[in-house]
A and B are shown apart, each in its own frame.
Chain A
Amino acid sequence: MASTKFLIPAEFRSEIHHIHALDQRSDEEILASLTNPAPITSKKNIWAYWHAGVHAMPGWCQRNVVNWIRLNGPSWTVRVLDSIPYSPNNALKWIDPKFLPDTFVHGTMDGPYVGPHSADFLRGAALFQHGGVWMDVGIILIRPLDRICWKQLEDPESPFEVSVPWMYGQTIANHFVASRKGDPFIKRW
Chain B
Amino acid sequence: MTLILQLLFGKLTINRRHEIFVHLWNGKKNPGGIIEHPLIAFAKELKFDGSQARNFHWDFKVEPQTVMEYIAQVMSWMRLSMLEDPNDRFSGAEYYASKVLLFDSLTEDWAAEDTVGFEGINLFNVFATRLDADLESEEYKLAYKAVWRLLTKSSMQKITHGKNLTKTPALGVLWDLKENEGKDIEPGTFAELLRYGSVHFEQERKEIDYIKAPKPEPIMKKGLLEPKMQSSNVKAISRPC
Chain A residues engaging chain B, CB cutoff 8 angstroms = 2-3, 5-6, 8-9, 12, 14-21, 58-60, 63-64, 67, 70-71, 98-103, 108-114, 116-117, 120-121, 123-124, 136, 138-143, 147-149, 152-153, 159-176, 184-185, 187-189
State the Cβ distance, A69 to closest chain B Cβ, in Å. 10
**In the complex, are the beta carbons of B100 and A167 less than 8 A apart?**
no
State the Cβ distance, B118 to closest chain A Cβ, in Å. 14
Secondary structure at the A interface, as helix, strand, loop or mixed, is mixed
**In the complex, are the beta carbons of A16 and B22 less than 8 A apart?**
no
**In the complex, are the beta carbons of A9 and B148 less than 8 A apart?**
yes
Interchain residue pairs A-B with the least CB separation, the first 3: A111-B30, A165-B105, A166-B102
A148 to B100, CA, bound (A): 13
* Residue from B109, B160, B176 within 8 A of A176 (CB atoms): B109
**In the complex, are the beta carbons of B105 and A138 less than 8 A apart?**
no
Chain B residues engaging chain A, CB cutoff 8 angstroms = 12, 15-16, 18-22, 25-26, 28-32, 50-51, 53-54, 56, 70-74, 76-78, 80-82, 90, 92, 95-96, 98-106, 108-109, 148, 150-161, 163-164, 172, 175-176, 181-185, 193-205, 208, 211, 213-214, 216-217, 224, 235-239, 241
**In the complex, are the beta carbons of A63 and B54 less than 8 A apart?**
no
* Residue from A6, A101, A153, A161 within 8 A of B25 (CB atoms): A101
Q: With A60-B175, A63-B184, A165-B104 known to touch, is A14 a contact of B204 (CB < 8 Å)? A: yes
Query: Residue on A with the closest CB to B214?
Result: A169
**In the complex, are the beta carbons of A111 and B29 less than 8 A apart?**
yes
